[in-house]
Structure 1
């Protein structure tokens, strides 16, 4: 079926048409969430009534078109409710990651001039209350959770909806969606900022709607589809793909309880499609291999045989057709192994869609061999966000596929990737200078480096601003080197450094469960993780790893030294963005002393020779 109403031009138009399509169908629902240990659906009629009531309340409070309202919440039904209500009256929503600290929330609310904010919990409300005195534009707060005590200027969403309902009872046409135009700004999404202050990306209704339409022609969905949602809705990737696209096709969105419960929720929700990031694949793969390692030697051999059979089968498929013997082996492997792996994902999964960061080729091939298809895509907040995606019928790992409909691509002489199309942002909020720097002659300059293959599929090599220039003047892309290192089971996270230095070094966060198992096998005693990563035998594991990888690299790309750290890179400690990208500047600054010690030691060694 695809899009329920293909002609939509604005998001309120889309919402209204889908709600009308399912009016009175009690068994149909767009969202399901966990209640008392079981998934419970929220019907279209129920959600529509709540959206209309909250929209009426916001309008009653004086919110008019182009006013900004922030949403500070985890993924939950109230997020969709707030988004639909805000957009429905022509206002602009400003999504905030719930992991943000009060000072960053203050910066975004002040910069965008938000008149109101929707918050989820008392924790999030507390952040807002702590900075409210610095926000002259902020007039009121809507709380999704019940308040523990009355707070001036804060209203519970239940009360807001009740007020809205009474208004609509007396004046049914109080809220009108017709006032919203395609080129009106729908949202201002602040980039998480791997460097510097976040910038507010202005996306219009046309930007997002055209991107939804483009995606729908590639990823064919209908009301028989369902997804498990756990990426933050504050990010354009989950919002366009995991929310608007699914809603537009009548698919169901099951909300994961948390990152920790994803494995369990996959089995319960039985999704057909999941939007995710590469980090999840690393975790699931590590769990699969760990469980296999605990099986009998016979079962381990069967798994390895099935994995190799799958790898060979798909390589033959790429080049033509597998032989009858390979087809028979693959069918046997499906019965013995793949079917059991697929049960972990709810048995009905058609494909994962991977974005937000580069998917290591070996990870993609591992899952493909086990019968799990991953469609890797690419895009930026500024492009609404999808520009490229691998097609289900033509997956090529190591690339992010061809451009989607309506998007043009161009590679500059220096390798920078440029895009043009109706999905390109209106610009950065209150920052015409920054806008002019990235949009020139109608083309958006991504800051990413890449190349096109013979079929027009894009391969990303690195971020332009992440290119390391050594003291010898060599330009090095760290990402491919990091991917090689991270393929080791003993590596959880890695960042390569070497700006204005004579050689590269790697900052490595070990995969401690694997490392501790190794230590146990080798009878290495340790009292703490710090002691563990200082052990000579453990250091030897990483020396060997770095040496073997360096053999595959050009002389100037070789990693000469490494440093192990027990502190992981997380969102909480400021080393990862909310979409799990490395904050390179923050990490480099935090470990500056240790990094300098390594280089100084090596310089001393060289100078003494």
Structure 2
């Protein structure tokens, strides 16, 4: 058993709650721009004073509507400024906010509303409202639904209704909550069963935010720091980062759709970004595809190899095992910086100094690539139950391949069987109304993550897999699918990879094609477009995928290598039921739905 811990760096006064963060920020500088809203294509700053005024006015609405402190309100919306307003106003009104993913089905919404006991729902637009009302048809009673946008906005109606509530009453309600009280119920993604309502307290959010700010001052305390949020605010990681930015005074903007992201990055020009691994994979594959289509494939490949080598040399210096990049490597990187890297940095807005990667594992080679081109990736680790970040790599001491050091106020323990256990300020007190799950989730005061990992001598955590994902072949070989799947996803043709082999004589894989990558690959080869059905049986596509499999196999021992693979004839998406909203793969669902394809691999 090994442990690593980082001491607490900041705390909240007794009797305070998460709303005190905004009030403290207002006392410090009421004119400081905390947010920027994009209206008619133009970013307009929102000062702390303006934000506090809007939140206070909106918070009076639920009070006037009879929503009592401690009751739950649900929010179903894309990432947007109004999401933030409802979240903060809900906390000012003493409510517990329950996020619902914008892509959720009526069945999923119905379960969350029923299990949480929500008393009101905020829906972004008529389409989301229709899903909510369909879900409520299965409930014993109807709930009020407040639309968050449009001319008949329910937010405006709440503002008007709240005008009758005195400031003194709002302050009384706002100050009732304590750090130990629930601020949110965040439902798990459901990769292993029905979603569970995870209690996130005021203290989980607030103390994690204050300590992360002190732990990462080079990112969060830099003058002019600003970030653009495009991940779903229904995900605990995006929401935790938003609270962190609020505590640090980092200006936040929102992008409601991935289609607007590139344009918004260029106009907003963030200094740091929260990104999931799939975004890095897509950026790399797209850049590689464009270079090859334009006859610059060799230059790109050489530039990529240089970036990786440069980053590895820097990483060795950070670990104390090397002197850093030599003169020749630095000169080569400087050449490619002018030819290639500058354009890639421009894709992130041109001013990004750091990115933070979370939600799932990122292939170390991709981390080295982006680090080498001047877009450093700080990988972290956490779960819904840890209010997202529990460990992160600090700037200047990044160790690629690890997920960093415990955040302040956090202890990480490696159990005898290799499971990662966590205790600290971000850990949930438990699941809502689920004693059975709570008994299984904790041991000796530590939360059982289900992840497998190791700690080095300096306390850096490396995640090696998940207990439930670990495969044991018929020959008794333990196989961690993660490294193989990450390597396969680097190829532009591959969107998803699922390694199988539990109880089987050898390891095999299911491969899902990337429609955009396929189109680019075919165009570069001078071939006509193919749909996924046709591509799955195309000899040239299969030969290229075999080369990708051969490359992945070089990373593991012979017993762990993929012997056969099958190409899926349809895309794996959130809508198909095979990805979570944060783009994590639902492995068991894939294996279940494609059971005939799996059986054929062993026929």
Equivalent in the alignment of 1:282: 281
**Separation in 2 of the partners of 1:120 and 1:398?**
39
Cα RMSD for the two superposed structures? 2.3
**Is there any run of 5+ residues in structure 2 with no aligned partner, and where?**
1-9
Q: CA deviation at 1:587?
A: 1.1
Pick from 178, 183, 187 the counterpart of residue 190 of structure 1: 187
Equivalent in the alignment of 1:101: 105
**Separation in 2 of the partners of 1:266 and 1:49?**
28
* Inter-CA distance 233–523: structure 2 relative to 1 (3 Å threshold): closer
Pick from 395, 409, 414 the counterpart of residue 412 of structure 2: 409
Q: CA deviation at 1:494?
A: 0.7
Q: CA deviation at 1:130?
A: 1.5
Equivalent in the alignment of 1:215: 212
Pick from 192, 200, 203 the counterpart of residue 200 of structure 2: 203
**Separation in 2 of the partners of 1:552 and 1:324?**
30
Equivalent in the alignment of 2:165: 167
Q: CA deviation at 1:426?
A: 0.9
* Inter-CA distance 523–41: structure 2 relative to 1 (3 Å threshold): closer
* Inter-CA distance 526–126: structure 2 relative to 1 (3 Å threshold): closer
**Separation in 1 of the partners of 2:280 and 2:492?**
13
**Separation in 2 of the partners of 1:329 and 1:522?**
30
**Separation in 1 of the partners of 2:50 and 2:69?**
25
Is it true that 1:484 corresponds to 2:487 in the alignment? Answer: yes
Pick from 393, 399, 402 the counterpart of residue 396 of structure 1: 399
8 Å CA contact retained: 1:52, 1:175: no
**Separation in 2 of the partners of 1:199 and 1:191?**
5
Structure-to-structure mapping, 1:169-568, within 5 angstroms: 176-220=173-217, 221-222=220-221, 224-241=224-241, 243-295=242-294, 297=296, 303-317=300-314, 318=317, 319-516=322-519, 518-519=521-522, 528-568=531-571
**Separation in 2 of the partners of 1:460 and 1:474?**
19
Q: CA deviation at 1:518?
A: 4.8
**Separation in 1 of the partners of 2:413 and 2:464?**
15
* Inter-CA distance 69–554: structure 2 relative to 1 (3 Å threshold): same
Equivalent in the alignment of 1:79: 83
Pick from 18, 23, 42 the counterpart of residue 11 of structure 1: 18
Structure 1 length as normaliser, TM-score? 0.90
* Inter-CA distance 104–391: structure 2 relative to 1 (3 Å threshold): same
Q: CA deviation at 1:296?
A: 5.3
**Separation in 2 of the partners of 1:255 and 1:340?**
23
Structure 2 length as normaliser, TM-score? 0.91
More deviation in 5-14 or 230-239?
5-14
8 Å CA contact retained: 2:293, 2:523: no
* Inter-CA distance 291–320: structure 2 relative to 1 (3 Å threshold): same
Q: CA deviation at 1:301?
A: 5.3
Equivalent in the alignment of 1:607: none
8 Å CA contact retained: 2:519, 2:530: no
8 Å CA contact retained: 2:532, 2:570: no
More deviation in 586-595 or 430-439?
586-595
> Residue 165 of structure 2 aligns to a residue in which SS?
helix
Deviations 1:292-350 (CA, angstroms, capped at 9, x unpaired):
224455xx555555444433333333222433444444444434433333222222111
> Residue 167 of structure 1 aligns to a residue in which SS?
coil
Deviations 1:516-565 (CA, angstroms, capped at 9, x unpaired):
55556667667643223212333222234334533543343121211111
**Separation in 2 of the partners of 1:598 and 1:325?**
48
Pick from 119, 136, 144 the counterpart of residue 132 of structure 1: 136
* Inter-CA distance 113–331: structure 2 relative to 1 (3 Å threshold): same
Rg (Cα) greater in structure: 1
More deviation in 185-194 or 252-261?
252-261
* Inter-CA distance 131–332: structure 2 relative to 1 (3 Å threshold): closer
> Residue 217 of structure 1 aligns to a residue in which SS?
helix
> Residue 10 of structure 1 aligns to a residue in which SS?
coil
